Amino acid sequence: MFPGNRRQQEDEYEEEEYGDNPQEDYEEVEGDENIIVHQERGLPDNEDFEYSNLQGKKRALFVGINYVGMDGQLSGCINDVNNMNNFIQENFDFEEILMLTEESDDPDLIPTKANIERAFEWLVEDPQPNDSLFFHYSGHGTRVEDDTGDEEDGFDEAICPLDYEENGVIIDDDIHRILVKPLPAGCRLTALFDSCHSGSVMDLPYLYTTKGMIQSNNPVHGIYNAVNNVKKAILKGDHQKAMVRLEAITSRLKQAALSDKWKSELSSQADVVMFSGCKDKQTSADTSEDTDESEYNFQNTGALSWAFITVLSEEPQLSYSELLQKIHKLLQTKYEQKPQLSSSHPMDMGYTFAI
C-alpha cells in the first residue's frame, strides 16, 4: 500500500476535545514551564536498575500480521518481520528465533491471541542478567477504554491479533505484565511496535523526546493554565468552551494523582527499551518505499520498520538519542507520525545502541 494507509483498527471510543490538551506536543513546547526535562546524561541519583552487558543468551520474537481477507487488510507487516529478522541475524547474532505470521504452516505459529501470549512467555522464559531479548510487532494497533483507572488519558493501547474479532485485543497492561514484569535486573528487552497508537503500548514509565530528554508534564502548572482558560471563556460568554476547559482540569487532576503511582508501579530493575511508530493518538503508515539502493525489500513495509533498518544500515554506531532523531528525521519527510522511545528506567541516551 502507499503512504496514507494506516495500521489502525476502528477505535472503540470517540476522542474528547479538551481544548488545551493535557498531553501537549512536547517537542514544540520544550521551553515551556509545563515541561520538566532532564538532559540526556542527567540521570537521577537513585538509579535502581542495571544495564545488560548483552553477553547472555540472545532470543528474538517476530509477529507480523497482514489480516488477509479481513477488513483493514495490510500489505507490509509480514514483509516487515522478514526484513527485521534478516537484519537482526546479520548484525547481532541472535541464537533463538521465533516468528509468527498467518503464512505459517504450523498452527502454533499463527498469530492468534493465545499463540502470541504463549510466544511472549517463551521470549521471557528463564530470563537472566545480561540476556538480550528482542521483540518486533508489525500489525494493527488500537485503543480501548481503560477499565482499571490506571491510564491518564482513560484509554489502554493495544495490539490486534489475527483473531481479535473473536477473542479480543492484547492491551498494554497485559503486554507489560507478561513481557516486563518477569525480567530481572540487568536483563535487556528491546521492542519495536510498528502499529497505530503504540506510543505507550508497553506501559513503560519513561518517555524520551527526539532530543534525548525525559518528558514529564507538570500537572500543577497545567491546572493553573486550564483555570485561566476557563476564566477567559466565561468572560467572553463562551460557556461551551468553558465546559471543555473544565474537562481539561479534570484530566489534569487525574494525571497528578496517577503520575507518581504509575511510575512506581511500572518501573523495573530490568533494562527494557521500546521504539514505537507513533504517539498514542497517532497512526502509523503501511506504505511502500524505494528498494533500489537497499538489500531489503521495502516495496510493502511499515514506516517505522523501514526507517529503523535504513538508519542503522547506514550508520550502525549511533547513540539512542541519535538513532531516535534520525528515524524521526527520515519519517517526517513523508509521514505525520512521530516515533517514540520509552524505557523501564531513566536511561543514558548517549549510550551506543546495541542489542
Which has the minimum average pLDDT: 41-45, 189-193, 262-266, 302-306? 41-45
Amino acid (1-letter code) at residue 257? A
pLDDT at residue number 89 = 95
Closest-CA residue to 135 (of 61, 54, 194, 77): 61
Mean pLDDT of 198-204: 93
pLDDT at residue number 21 = 36
Cα–Cα distance measured from residue 330 to residue 319, given in angstroms and rounded to the nearest whole number: 16
Q: Answer yes or no: is 87 within a domain.
A: yes
Q: Answer yes or no: is 233 within a domain.
A: no
pLDDT at residue number 236 = 87
pLDDT at residue number 231 = 81
Q: Answer yes or no: is 299 within a domain.
A: yes
The predicted-structure confidence for 313-348, as pLDDT tens digits, reads as follows: 999 999 999 999 999 999 999 999 999 999 998 888
Is the pLDDT at 64 greater than 60? The verdict is yes
50 Ramachandran zone, left/alpha/beta (phi>0; psi -120 to 50): beta
Q: Answer yes or no: is 234 within a domain.
A: no
Q: Answer yes or no: is 107 within a domain.
A: yes
Mean pLDDT of 153-167: 91
User: Of 26 and 122, which is predicted with more confidence?
Assistant: 122
Q: Answer yes or no: is 119 within a domain.
A: yes
Cα–Cα distance measured from residue 293 to residue 92, given in angstroms and rounded to the nearest whole number: 22
Q: Answer yes or no: is 238 within a domain.
A: no
User: Of 13 and 323, which is predicted with more confidence?
Assistant: 323
Kindly report the average pLDDT of the chain as a whole number. Answer: 82
Mean pLDDT of 64-91: 97
DSSP code of residue 273:
E
Which has the minimum average pLDDT: 155-169, 209-223, 341-355? 209-223
Mean pLDDT of 103-116: 98
Is the pLDDT at 26 greater than 90? The verdict is no
Could you tell me the pLDDT band of residue 240, with boundaries at 50, 70 and 90?
A: confident
pLDDT at residue number 62 = 98
Strand partners, 5: 286
pLDDT at residue number 225 = 61
Which residues are known to be catalytic? 140, 196
pTM of the predicted protein model:
0.79
Residue 276: give its domain's CATH number.
3.40.50.12660
Q: Which of 56-60, 250-254, 260-264, 277-281 shows the highest mean pLDDT?
A: 56-60
Is the pLDDT at 208 greater than 60? The verdict is yes
Mean pLDDT of 154-181: 95
Residue 83 corresponds to which cell in the numbers above? 526484513
pLDDT at residue number 213 = 77
Burial of 312 (0-12, 13-18, 19+ CB in 10 A): middle
pLDDT at residue number 242 = 80
Q: Answer yes or no: is 129 within a domain.
A: yes
**What's the chain's Rg over C-alpha atoms?**
20
Domains identified in the chain, total number: 1
Answer whether 116's CB lies under 8 Å from 161's CB: yes
Domain holding 271, by residue range, is: 5-19+37-216+265-343
